[in-house]
Amino acid sequence: MAKTEIDANGSGLKSLIGSLKARAKRTAGHYRKEDTGITPEEWPRDAEVELIESLVREKARRVTGGDSSQQWKGCREFAQAIRDSRNPTVSREHFGTEEAQRRYERAEADFFDGIALWADSTMDYVTYLSALAVETATKLRILFLAANPSDRTRLRLDRELRDIREELATAGYRERFDLQARGAVRAKDMVRALLELEPAYVHFSGHGTADGAICVEASDGTSHEIDPDALAALFAAAGEKVRCVLLNACFSENQALAIARHVPFVIGMRTTISDEAAIAFATGFYRALGAGKGVPVAFELGIVELKLFGIAEHETPVIVQCP
């Protein structure tokens, strides 16, 4: 089963689990000859049982995947034990009709009791998923887009991404950010990522041309140029939540001017910029962002990073603010 999707309150799923638990206990009572008043139409449906079982097993995968919550240890064994309780030996040839029927009813009662236990076991997991949804919804997502076409000079985009990750991972406000990276991007990959991730910050790292285009990859890995008006149109249509765009590419000032009609802050480069300078500027920028600084201050600290390391390109980056 795929990872469970759940909203921030999880109320619908919790209500379903509560109802299933109550009906499972009444169904177990029915098989014990208790007067529970439940009808077959109210018995837990297979789809409901499968949902609860999948949640229990998903808890187990979280633990084996590195989750430190030891309270969920053994969930897989628990799920299998409940499932196995429904498959006892009830052969009429071995036990006779009456004994086989008694064993069958006892197994069904145990199974539905187990479903009720499953329901109890999943409530804390649903609460966990709800909290996770809230945390994810409140994080500021940074989308790192990289393109290194085969017909252009190779850039150290992997090092740039590594250094940005390190700065954010050690930052005082690291829990505030969610860094997502997409490599070897084509034009359609950029559109998909903006629509899917709805980032607050977009970082493009790659080549730019003297006439103001940025270079993404074509289907064969060579360059595909995107002019300023096209990229600005993309952010106008799909960049509603974007706060800042950083174009870490040569000659990207014209792109920045065009995009700034639709995005509060855009950073571009006035002329060519070396790998060393691009990486140093990005490092200083994200260090400041991770420390809780706003975009203008982070921009200035990116410039400071260049000056501190004696990189003579500190006048290359430019910041443009939406009018």
Tell me what the mean pLDDT of segment 273-296 comes to.
Answer: 96
- Give residue for tokens 């940074």: 142
Tell me what the mean pLDDT of segment 92-110 comes to.
Answer: 71
Residue 233 contacts residue 226 (beta carbons within 8 Å) = no
Q: At what angle do helices 46-64 and 75-84 cross, to 10 degrees?
A: 150
Q: Kindly list the distances between the CA atom of residue 147 and the CA atoms of 49, 83, 127, 181, in Å, as whole numbers in the listed order.
A: 47, 49, 40, 11
Overall pTM surpassing 0.85 (yes/no) = no
Half-sphere exposure (Cβ direction) of 94: Cα atoms closer than 13 Å: 6
Q: Among 52-66, 245-259, 262-276, which stretch is predicted with the lowest mean pLDDT? A: 52-66
205/163 Cα distance (integer angstroms)? 13
* Phi, then psi, of 252 in degrees rounded to 5: -100, 10
- Give residue for tokens 């990229």: 231
Tell me what the mean pLDDT of segment 146-153 comes to.
Answer: 96
At 132, is the pLDDT very low, low, confident or very high (cuts 50, 70, 90)? low
With 80 as the cut, is the pLDDT of residue 10 above it?
no
The conformational region for residue 198 under phi > 0 = left, psi -120 to 50 = alpha, else beta, is left
247/317 Cα distance (integer angstroms)? 9
Q: What percent of the chain has pLDDT over 90?
A: 54
208/277 Cα distance (integer angstroms)? 15
274/29 Cα distance (integer angstroms)? 75
Domain span(s) for CATH 3.40.50.1460 in the chain:
139-321
Beta sheet of 207-208, edge-to-edge order: 207-208, 214-217, 223-226
187/197 Cα distance (integer angstroms)? 16
Q: Which two tokens stand for residue 264?
A: 């509060």
Residue 147 contacts residue 217 (beta carbons within 8 Å) = yes
220/321 Cα distance (integer angstroms)? 36
Q: Looking at per-residue confidence, does 305 or 101 come out higher? A: 305
Exposed e or buried b per residue across 241-271, where buried means at least 16 C-beta atoms within 10 angstroms of its C-beta:
ebebbbbbbbbbbbbbbbbbebbebbbbbbe
Q: Where do the H-state alpha helices sit in the chain?
A: 11-31, 46-64, 75-84, 92-138, 157-169, 187-197, 228-238, 253-259, 275-290, 295-308
**Alpha carbon distance, N-terminus to C-terminus of the chain:** 48
Query: Looking at domain 139-321, which of 3.40.30.10, 3.40.50.2300, 3.40.50.1460, 3.30.930.10 is its CATH number?
Result: 3.40.50.1460
With 90 as the cut, is the pLDDT of residue 20 above it?
no
- In 3D space, the residue among 167, 320, 147, 323 whose CA is nearest the CA of residue 245 turns out to be 320
At 3, is the pLDDT very low, low, confident or very high (cuts 50, 70, 90)? very low
With 50 as the cut, is the pLDDT of residue 73 above it?
no
The pLDDT assigned to 266 comes to 97
Q: Kindly list the distances between the CA atom of residue 125 and the CA atoms of 74, 122, 130, 151, 225, in Å, as whole numbers in the listed order.
A: 14, 5, 9, 50, 47
